[in-house]
Structures are given as structure tokens and as C-alpha cells.
Structure 1
Amino acid sequence: MKMNYDIALTPNEWAMISNDLHGEGLHLVSKWRYNNKVHEEEYGFRTVESKSSIHTIVIDGQHALTTRFASDADKIIQELQTNTNFEVSVVTDTTISTEDKWVNPLGEYFLLDYENIVGIQQIGTTPELLYNEEVRMVTTLLNKNNTEVQLQFIITWETDGIQTKGCIEELCVNMPLPDIGTIQHLIETTISNYGDIGEPLIECYFDAKTDSRSECTPDIVARTRSARLVARGEEE
């Protein structure tokens, strides 16, 4: 399920939103995560250090060419040493600079540890919530081209055979629904501090391993949106 919000946000605002969500227990991280540990230095307004290097190839005592990448410098040196009689070496100059800034999120995936969470946070192929041994939910949040925010829930259920609509709805909708509602509520409340977020455009499909696809029924879409109201203690 994808929820697309029509709101423009600058990269700096997105970094601030990442920090705000971090305070709510929604931690934006990279897809390539190896544990559930949250590092405070990845969020907030901090002094950020950056390094840049220039590698100069020296041939017979003369500066011949430069490259930004150590791997390129190594390849050039190896080629010259293999194919010529030149005396070659490399000189590396490194510049370190610091800047006080809002830390940009490392990725679009969530580690989640907010209050009353239903699923169990774990690292599978990516960070995900586990509901039983078969049902998993991956949650992502993306600032697309600084013009649109996309919230996505990817729910998977590994099953040996064809299942009834009732079973699919119970495991893939009802089970993660409280978390879907809470996540929507926290994200929408946070982003609304930076502008009018409005109602999202929702795309929702069921995809089977047979590559068949069916659109979510209107009642499932409606229940998904209603779940966020439950999370903030309201009723439609």
C-alpha cells in the first residue's frame, strides 16, 4: 500500500522531520541494516565532519594527473608499473571540514519502537515488523523530488497454498492494522507542522506469487485510513 501526500519539503525540512519522527519512535535508516540499534548521532542538529581527498599520480618526479578516487589511483599505478619503466608513486592530500547542520536521514526504511507497537521489530532482508512466523511488514517513507511524500507499507505472507479472502484479510489487514494506523497518525501529525499535508492518494494491491494482482476493496482502504483516527483517539 502506497500513500502519496502532495506536500513540498526542502531537504533541510526533511532532515528536521527525520529528527522529529526519531523522537516519536520512528527511526529512518538505511535498507542495509544489521541490527535494531538506533544511533543518536544519526539524527538532530549536529556538527558533521566530511573528508575529501585528491590523489596525485607522480611520474618520474613530476605531477602527472589527479583523481578523487583511491581505487582509480591504484589502478593507474599498477598499469604504469606493469607496462612502463617509469618511476611512479601517488601523493594523497586529504581535507577535513566540519559543518553544523541537521543530519539527513540515512535511508527510507523504518526501525520502529513507538509505544504500544504490535509487531516485533527485526531485521530480515530489510528492517521489518514480524507478526507471526509468516506475516511481515516493511515500512518506508520517502521525500520524492522534494515535491511529494510517499509512505509505503509492504505486507507479505508466505503460505503454501491458495488462501481464502477471509484468511488474507485477517492476517494481511487486521493483524498489522493497529500499527498502520499509529504510523500514519505519527507521520501525518509530524509533517503537518511543516505544511498542509491533506489527504493522501492511496494505491493498494494484493500481489500473488503467480504474478496476479487485485486491487484492494474500498472497505480495506477505508479501514486503513480509519485506523489512524483510532490511533489518535478519534472516530469518523
Structure 2
Amino acid sequence: MYRFLLTPRWWGINVFVVLAIPFCVFMGSWQLSRFEDRVKDHRSETEQSAENKTAAARPLASLLPVDKETSGKRARATGRYGEQLLVPDRELDGKRGFYVVSMLRTDDGKALPVVRGWLPGDVDPDRVPAAPTGQVTVTGALQASESPGSGTAGGLPKGQLGMISAASLVNLVPYDVYDAWVTVDRADGAMKPVPAAAPQGTGLDLKAFQNLGYTGEWFVFAGFVVFMWFRLLRREAEFARDAALGLAPETAPVSYDDAGKAPV
């Protein structure tokens, strides 16, 4: 009854099934491992964030370049405040407001963007407390430069900044800028300190749950392949049995159109 399994048609079907199932299982397992890695990164980032809050600040140079290991660590830099820029459309505690960014000119000639705090509402330079004068030492959480899409698009008025990055500041300040920024531990006046953000590519974000969803999809695909193979096998076996009993022709069944005519 199952001699049809040795036909070229069924050899092709069987080879496809044998290759498709391991491939789907492999892809599902890989997506699951990606999700587990993100969960692990989220736990590590949470623990690291708690440690960073109590750890002593380290010199800025020892933490550069910023990566997943150094992002969020407390850095220390000394210099004098220069240009000040405001970053609109930033949320804190569910409220819309703006960041106050002051450029700290360090002794090596480069400048470090320092987020001195956050204020609610629309951008208003008159509400911003003046930056300290003279030489100051700044301590705060080190952050990597923001990527495109992190802030407001271009076309902003003078004195405003869309995203905090060296690429955005290159045309706004007349000196080299560190490819990083610091958010201070304590803000001046009515400003609120900006908490450190998690490094990109870590945490339980939308991409993490997409990996989990893809895991389920790949295993569903594997199950669907098995289901279709058994369905085709049963259909073919029933046709072979009916043919052996003389209840059906020995050729494969023909599909008819709505008019009852066999296709040419």
C-alpha cells in the first residue's frame, strides 16, 4: 500500500520534510537563545545600575570608549562650562520637557556634553539656571552618543539640539567633542537629574519579545510541515487502497472547476 513512498514525487516530499523540520527547530532555538540573552542582559543591567549608583566615580578617560560594560558607570571630568544647548521633547516620569546640556571644556581641549538636568514644558531659556563659573568637577553617569531617531528631527531653532551626539554637535561648537555624554547626579535649581538610560540592544524591549514571538512561529512551522506530511500520506494511502479495491481509478484524482469540466 505504501509503495508510493518510493516514487520520485514522494522522494522529493520526504527530502523536503527531512530538511525543513531541523531547519525550523534550529531557527526557533536560535530565536529563543536571543530572547534568553536579552533577559540575561536585562538582569545584568539592573544589577549593574544598582552598583553604579554607589560606586566611586572614575576618570572619564578610563571609561572611554563607551560600551555595554562602561555605559551607566559614574565618570568624573574637570573643566569649565561653555556653550549651553537645550534638547526639546524629552520625557521624564511621564511628563514632556527638555534637557539642559552644557559643554564642559576639559584640559585636553575636547568638550564633554553634560546634561545638567530636565525641566518640564516647552523650551524656555529664561527658566534655565546659569551654569557654574570657573573650574568645576562634574560627576555623573556616562552615556553613549545617541543614535538617529533618539530625539527630535533637524530644523531646530538656534540654541537647541535634536540628539546628544558628537555628530550633531560638530557643526554647533567650534571644538572637538567626546563621543559620549554625562548626566549629573544632582541638578541645579528647579531642574531634575536625568537618570541613566540602559545601553542599546539590552533589556526587555520590543525586539526581545519579537524574538520570543519568532520562536513560536518557527516551531509552529515545524509542526505544520509534519501535519501536512501526514495529511498527504493518509490521502495517498486512501487513494491507493481504493484503487486496489477497484473503487477508484489508478491515477491521481482530478480537480474540476465550478462548471464541472476537467481542466485541459
* Band the TM-score falls in, shorter-chain normalisation: under 0.3
Give the alignment's TM-score, normalised by structure 2.
0.18
Please tell me whether Structure 1 or Structure 2 has the larger radius of gyration of its CA atoms: 2
1 or 2, which has the higher strand percentage?
Answer: 1
TM-score, normalised relative to structure 1: 0.19
If each structure's helix is expressed as a fraction of its own residues, which one has the higher value?
2
